[in-house]
Amino acid sequence: MAAPLRLKPLSRVAVSGGTHGNEMSGIYLAKHWLRDPRELQRSSFTITPFLSNLRAIEKCVRYVGQDLNRSFTTEFLSSVKAENEPYELNLAREINQTYGPKGSAQAFDFMFDLHNTTANMGTCLIVDSEENLLSMHMCHYIQTHYRLSPCPIYLYKSPDEEPYTIYSVAKAGLALELGPQAQGVVRADLFAQMRALIACGLDFIELFNKGTVFPAFEIEVYKFTGIVDYPRYPDGEISAMVHPKLQDKDFHPLNPGDPIFQTFSGEEVLYEGNVTIYPAFINEAAYYEKQIAFVKLEKHIFSIPSLQRE
């Protein structure tokens, strides 16, 4: 049995909307909270909502120069400001100064990051890895208390990879990935879900700060293992679409031999892996340029030790 986790109370929490400037649930939530922050108030800590990529939000695009949510590596953060560098590079340094610096004692205790996807991922919770025990406890609390839909947990980080997302500047974090929602659109149903998930996460922090002991548990998670690109013509253009039987089936099992693509000429392309995987980000609009038709996930069960305040 792993040792109980003992942590100091959390005092400063941030919530980022608009890390991608065309994912509207978080943008309109953050804009609303900046006008009226009352629903964010808790007695034991402060919550700071902010709009992270203002220029991308104004243009209603994912990013202006480079993907902000891939810009928080040590290499990027420690780079020297250069002329003609991508807009998001300096933005990442500024966000790191305000809410970090990454890895330092001054960093914010926690950051929520609000995203949408065109994929049918429901109310998905994204964490670096199962080693982020505080975030895993929050996910468990949300899964137990937010009952309107399942909240699958997606661990995105490969073992040897450095965290590169915006919330990595804080001491811990969680991204919400809600879909399906078209870019540039705010749907009332997803807006309400995101709002309720954040309220649930803040309630968890309040309980922790006030001394609640959270027992150990086992938890099912989906862990990133790789990507699958679209079939392509020799000139690089995609030659196929996500198969109708795979479309919208995020987090469903995909078995060897199952259809994954349909070419524009009408042929089926089958999954050639050796084991069952769980696809996610299926047909995500922003991933065409990243050459990702879907990501491959493996299902795991992890044991998380108990948590309490120091």
Classify the C-alpha dihedral 70-73-77-78 as positive or negative: negative
The residue (of 233 and 300) whose beta carbon lies closer to a copy of itself is 233
Site for a copy of itself in 283-302 (CB under 8 A): 283-286, 288-289
Residue 123 sits in the site that holds a copy of itself (CB under 8 A): no
Could you tell me the smallest distance in angstroms from the CB atom of residue 79 to a copy of itself? 27
User: Which DSSP string corresponds to 157-207?
Assistant: --TTPPP-SGGGGSSSEEEEEEES--TT---HHHHHHHHHHHHHHHHHHHH
Check binding of 237 to a copy of itself (CB under 8 A): yes
Q: Is 150 in the site for a copy of itself (CB under 8 A)?
A: no
**Which of 282, 297, 287, 296 lies closest to 122 in space, CA to CA?**
282
Distance from the Cα of residue 76 to its chain's centroid: 20
Main-chain phi, psi angles of 78, to 5 degrees = -95, 0
Identify whether 177 is a catalytic site residue: yes
Q: Does 87 bind a copy of itself (CB under 8 A)?
A: no
Q: Which stretch binds a copy of itself (CB under 8 A): 9-17, 165-173, 235-243, 273-281?
A: 235-243
Site string for a copy of itself, 247-286 (x = CB under 8 A): x--------------x-xx-----------------xxxx
Q: Which is nearer to a copy of itself, 20 or 137 (CB)?
A: 20
Does residue 20 have a known ligand-binding role? yes
Burial 151-172 (b: 16+ CB within 10 A, else e): bbbbbbbeeeeebbbbbbbbbb
> Does the footprint of a copy of itself cover residue 180 (CB under 8 A)?
yes
| SS3 at position 104 | coil
Instruction: Count interface residues toward a copy of itself (CB under 8 A).
Output: 37
For residue 246, the minimal CB distance to a copy of itself (Å) is: 9
Q: Residue 302, Cα to own-chain centre: how many angstroms? A: 19
Binding residues for Zn(2+): 20, 23, 115
